[in-house]
Structure 1
Amino acid sequence: MSAANPVDPAPLGPGLLVLVVGPSGAGKDTLIAYARGHLKGREDIRFARRRITRPADATENHIALDEDAFAREMALGSFPLHWRANGLGYALGAEVAEDVAAGRIVVANGSRAAVPAARARFARVKVVHVTAPLDVLAERIAARGRESGEAVRARLAREPALDAPPDLTIVNDGPAEVAGEKLAAYLRGL
């Protein structure tokens, strides 16, 4: 599931990690992209690019790693936070630790299952839960073209619970600009 970096257990701070979590298809990447575009010029806010053991594609801006490279980086302690979900490895890179150590706010697409490890690894964590009705989630997942039918249903059946109520919940079932502005406004207020 999730794990903090075992090499350096000291909590990272004084900055803030904002984990944007929620089910597949909720629109986390879309809302993060909206906020990034509307918070240009804010040097105190950074947006993380995850490392994922999946080839890069047009649906997500991530750094692709194969399983061997992911395991190597994990063993070296390069990831301040990493987890497994949906058969893939996910991680935040060393630049996240550097930005948080410099006192910045770092916004990252995360996993609900990784929240406890994030709270153990970072001195300050805020959780934004993005969600949508089940039919909207299924339609969005199918539209990506990575999965269909039973795979979509299986993905939606995996719903890890949060360890505590989120700091903000956004129901993303309308225009992306509306939900995106909720995230951007929240980040402006931090």
Structure 2
Amino acid sequence: MSGDELREGTAGGTGCSGAGLLVFVVGPSGAGKDTLLSYARQRLAERGDIVFARRRITRASDHTEDHLSLDGDTFERGVAEGRFPLYWRANGLGYALGEDVAAGIANGNVVVANGSRAAVALARHLFARVKVVLVTAPPEVLAARISARGREGGEAAAQRLAREPRIDIPPDLILINDGGVEQAGERLTAFLRGLGAEG
């Protein structure tokens, strides 16, 4: 199956067991999730118990997002073979968390992953311990950031902005990321540091 044939809106996964905790960072396109995750990763580099996962996406790698690129066929094989603890399809693409997430959870680590609002309920179902961080910003900020990264044209960008999956359970942390990276980045870093200290 090719990337163009990915079934929009479907999700699933095998989950994983262990004493670890999944921190699922979600929010609209342009909210700055990758920027904040990169900031927190650098600030917590000495913490071996806090692991930052790289999700798999059926899109070529570029400078705007730290992910592992898969083609559509490889993604579908991973789904069929049960290699993804969690996967979902949105915006015409396939997304997945990989074996590194399962290993981190099994080892008792705090595993931080860039996720999707549409997959929050499934993540809570598949993983025993989950914390959800919602990153957002005002609509005009989201629009400007999506335009600046140059990945989507006008119609695709508008579709991303219009996408509003519901989160039925309130997030554990909400970050309004509408200024410099330090303000929201430090809040995320402190939140993650506290989770690691919980053991």
Compute the TM-score of the two structures, normalised by the length of structure 1. 0.95
Look up the match of 1:3.
11
Instruction: State the Cα deviation string for residues 61-102 of structure 1 (Å, max 9, x = none).
Output: 111000000000111111000001111000000110111011
Gaps of 5+ in 2: 1-8
Secondary structure of 1:55's counterpart equals coil
Instruction: State the Cα deviation string for residues 128-181 of structure 1 (Å, max 9, x = none).
Output: 000000000000001011113222111100110112100000000010111111
Look up the match of 1:177.
182
Look up the match of 2:170.
165
Q: Separation in 2 of the partners of 1:154 and 1:142? A: 13
Number of equivalences: 187
Q: How far did 1:14 drift?
A: 1.1
For residue 51 of structure 1, what is the amino acid of its counterpart? R
Q: 1:126 aligns with which of 92, 116, 131?
A: 131
Pair 1:70 & 2:75 matched: yes
Look up the match of 2:107.
102
Q: Separation in 2 of the partners of 1:135 and 1:148? A: 16
Q: How far did 1:127 drift?
A: 0.2
Look up the match of 1:31.
36
Q: How far did 1:58 drift?
A: 1.0
Q: Separation in 2 of the partners of 1:2 and 1:33? A: 28
Secondary structure of 1:139's counterpart equals helix
Q: How far did 1:2 drift?
A: 4.7
Secondary structure of 1:107's counterpart equals strand
Q: Separation in 2 of the partners of 1:96 and 1:115? A: 16
Pair 1:138 & 2:143 matched: yes
Contact 1:15 1:102 in 2 (8 A): yes
Q: Separation in 1 of the partners of 2:11 and 2:18? A: 18
RMSD, aligned α-carbons: 1.1
For residue 54 of structure 2, what is the amino acid of its counterpart? R
Look up the match of 2:52.
47
Gaps of 5+ in 1: none
Q: How far did 1:103 drift?
A: 0.4
Q: Separation in 2 of the partners of 1:4 and 1:104? A: 23
Q: How far did 1:33 drift?
A: 0.3
Q: 1:15 aligns with which of 17, 20, 32?
A: 20
Misfit runs of 4+, over 4 Å: none
